[in-house]
Amino acid sequence: MDTSKRSGFRRACYRQLEPSAWPGNGLSPVNKVICLLIVAASVVAIAETETSLHGFAVTAFFVLELFFTLVFTTEYVLRLIAVGENPKYAGFGGRIRYVFSFWAILDLLAILPFIVSLGSYNTVLLRVLRLVRILRLARLGRLTKAWDALSEAVWLRRLELTITTGAAGFALLMSSSLLYIAEASTQPETFGSIPRAFWWSVATLTTVGYGDVTPVTSLGRVFAGMTAIAGIGLVAMPAGILAAAFTDAFQRRARNTSEEDP
């Protein structure tokens, strides 16, 4: 293949694989197929954790995973070839930078579990590798603009989110300390130290309320009520901040799109 043909092939791959390079609306046909395969591969990985299904169709699961691995390996190689069209990753050094970029590492993690798990009988390792296979769904983030909006929203509200995170941490520490004071002598197994009381504080402040650990003293119940009420606000604050940030981000993108259209 001469230089012009190689260059044309690389440009064609780049247009198909890089969402921002596709001239049409939405995703390219190749990226649409990749999205479907990512979802299918994740569904297969989830189904395989059911022992009755896995035992019934061991060969089918193996063949499917082999197929997905071959497809994603081919995609990874083609992305490595095509990324040279981006000036940021041009040349050998640019490709090395790309290999260690976030999305490239995620692409690599999509194909490694099958290779690493061949011949492995370590159940803990197999469970970890199956989890990594399910995390292939995260690769859909590079194929949607919603991920960019999410990142932008979190970054623009980083100060507010940091403050609410600090407030939540302080509230957890205070509620754990108060319950330790009130309940340690009565329930030493669950409230005998601040770290032990921390589990109860997490469950209460997040409004989960498992009910496996509960205060029994009057003072402990007063502190528990205060903690539960505080938890409503602590959960609502970051939710409100992120909701406003997402709205601003999508509105800003909509304005930019309308300005670019003739």
Domain layout of the chain by residue ranges: 3-143, 156-260
Is 156-260 in CATH node 1.10.287.70?
Answer: yes
Residue 140 pLDDT? 73
Residue 212 pLDDT? 82
pTM here is 0.66
Please give the share of the chain, as a percent, with pLDDT higher than 70: 87
For 10, list phi and psi in degrees, rounded to 5: -65, -40
Length of the chain: 262
Contact of 86 with 19, CB cutoff 8 Å: no
**Position with higher pLDDT, 252 vs 104:** 104
Q: Could you tell me the two tokens for 17?
A: 């694989």
Mean pLDDT across 201-226: 87
DSSP character for 101? Answer: S
Residue 194 pLDDT? 92
Residue 18 pLDDT? 87
The one-letter amino acid at 203: A
The one-letter amino acid at 28: S
**Position with higher pLDDT, 115 vs 17:** 17
Using 50, 70 and 90 to split pLDDT, how confident is the model at 177? very high
Residue 144 pLDDT? 66
Least confident span in 116-125, 214-223, 243-252: 116-125
Using 50, 70 and 90 to split pLDDT, how confident is the model at 182? very high
Residue 57 pLDDT? 83
In the predicted model, is pLDDT for residue 261 greater than 60?
no
**Position with higher pLDDT, 59 vs 254:** 59
Contacts of 153 by beta carbon, 8 Å cutoff, 6+ apart: 242, 245, 246, 248, 249
The CATH label, of 1.10.3720.10, 3.40.50.970, 1.20.1440.230, 1.20.120.350, for the domain at 3-143 is 1.20.120.350
Mean pLDDT across 151-155: 77
Please give the share of the chain, as a percent, with pLDDT higher than 90: 16
DSSP-derived 3-state class of residue 151? helix
Sign of torsion, CA 159 164 168 171? positive
- Mean pLDDT for the chain? 82
**Position with higher pLDDT, 65 vs 259:** 65
In the predicted model, is pLDDT for residue 124 greater than 80?
no
